[in-house]
Structure 1
Amino acid sequence: MAALPRERLRRPLPAVRRARTREDLGGLAPAYLLVAGLDPLRDEGIDYARRLLRDGVPVELHHFPGGFHTIDVAAPTATFSRRALADQAAALRSALLRVR
């Protein structure tokens, strides 16, 4: 695989530049979002999912009530963590099969 020129690496892709402006998020890749009920970023994640949907980006949003930020790291064998990891793996598997 050929390396990208240095100047290209410093410039974000057009879709990423649009996302930073917080206006039109159309053109971004499909998203998988997981939010936990006790996560301080929960509302921000849900809002981001809504904005992506509004702009026509496919979104898969998973909400885990009762979970907290990084619970999968703090308690990797907990039911919540195992289920979240299984859901993430399934979403990734599905996305990769669509690319084939």
Structure 2
Amino acid sequence: KVNHFPDSKFLSRKDCLKRCIDRYVKRPPGSRRSQMVESFRVIPETFVLPRDYCEFIEAYTNYRDLSIPETMWILKPVCLSRGRGISVISDLSEVNYTEPTIIQK
């Protein structure tokens, strides 16, 4: 009995999926690539912490400087599933940097 597909972490782990999508979007142009890249625009602004810490702080600061009230961010632990550990935050002090986490606007 098999309960895992080989190499499925590239689609099932949030950080690996983000990395795969980023790699795909940065590929050289091809015949249908622009159409496919356009379809990824539905994915919210996403950062993998702690790796993307600087980029996240810059985005967080930009939203705060625009005076957008109650900009909410969703934190998702990379290695948990079924909604465990997910939290919604609005303040930078609520972010936990001790373990790999996905944060999305």
TM-score, normalised with respect to structure 1: 0.28
TM-score, normalised with respect to structure 2: 0.27
Using CA pairs below 8 Å that are at least 6 residues apart, which structure has the higher relative contact order?
2
